[in-house]
Amino acid sequence: MAIALDGLTQPFSSLTEDDARILLTKTWGMYSIDVRRLETERDDTFRARTLDGVVTLKVAHPGDRIDVIELQTAALEHAAEADPGIPLQRVVPALDGSTLVTTRYRIARVLTWLDGALLHDMPQNRKVLGEAGTVLGRLNRALRDFDHPAADRELAWDIARLAELRPHAIGPLMQEALDRFDAEVAPVLPDLPHQIVHNDFHPANVLVDARRGTTVTGVLDFGDVVRTARVCDLAVALAYLVPDAPPPWPGVRAFREGFESIVPLDDEERAVLPMLIAGRTLMRTVINRAMNPDAEDELVDFYERNSRKLASLLAIGPSAL
């Protein structure tokens, strides 16, 4: 079965900054001094400076199911309660006490604002990557006993569904990766520990202190939360840290060690970790191509770097990580 990718790119009519200002005033009782749109992949997100402080307004894509948005919000609230030390946004209820509000057939919510610079834009040294790995481990642990009926959803970004991308894969390297995933990972994946995970812990979703860049100050975006093998949570993060060069990869090792200081993996999870990282790397190439069909020329360098990463991952064993 092939997974559908067209739903990732459905166009919609965006809200304006004035629309956001009015919504915050009428529904949350917040009077805005300044409202700025933030660049996002699928929804409308705004940073609003109000008389009550700075908040984030998120208005979901009209095609997003309400039960999935409830899953994302519930996972965020559960993790914050289970481990209050994880730097997470908090949900701000509307005037009527609701955490989710329907506007123009779309779901809106307000979250607290977290200060910091994106890890993506800062030097990624071993110290900060080790701390980031520890934070993901804590988040993974915090969600261990969380459950929600929408968690078993079909999600294109779930590595466990990699085989469904085969019709979209191009070139012998991708086909080799898919063949090896089918042979080495797919048979054992169902027996590995499963839980609901964040599933999108990459450097553009992690905030660090803007001055020194060594302390994690925020974890963003629960939009890809899903129930899957718990080791996939780590594999997703490492897929963004693997350089397009052969190992050693000290930053990758520092992150993995930080994660395992909180959530030790078993031998079976460690054995499939390189191929899971390869799977996420392949996914990034295929799905980004599907989401940006008119920008293929601009993405050539991205494809080439991911191909080098994929080749390196197919050539290593767990000890390299």
Instruction: Give pLDDT tens digits for 144-182.
Output: 999 999 999 999 999 999 999 998 888 899 999 999 999
Q: What is the pLDDT of residues 81-131, one digit of tens each?
A: 999 999 999 999 999 999 999 987 899 999 999 999 999 999 889 999 999
Q: What ranges do the domains of the chain cover?
A: 14-113, 118-320
pLDDT for 199-235, tens place per residue?
999 999 999 998 887 899 999 999 999 999 999 999 9
Domain 14-113 and domain 118-320, same fold? Reply is no
pLDDT computed for residue 5 by the predictor:
62
- Span between the terminal Cα atoms of the chain, in Å: 32
CB 228 within 8 A of CB 237: no
CA torsion through residues 168, 170, 172, 173, sign: negative
14-113: what CATH class?
alpha beta
- Give the separation between CA 214 and CA 237, rounded to whole angstroms: 17
Q: How many other CB atoms are found less than 10 A from the CB of residue 279?
A: 29
Q: What is the pTM of this model?
A: 0.93
Q: What is the mean pLDDT of residues 54-67?
A: 93
DSSP for 17-84, written as a single string: HHHHHHHHHHHH---EEEEEEE--SSSEEEEEEETTEEEEEEE--TTS-HHHHHHHHHHHHHHHHH-T
CATH topology of domain 118-320: Aminoglycoside 3'-phosphotransferase; Chain: A, domain 2 (3.90.1200)
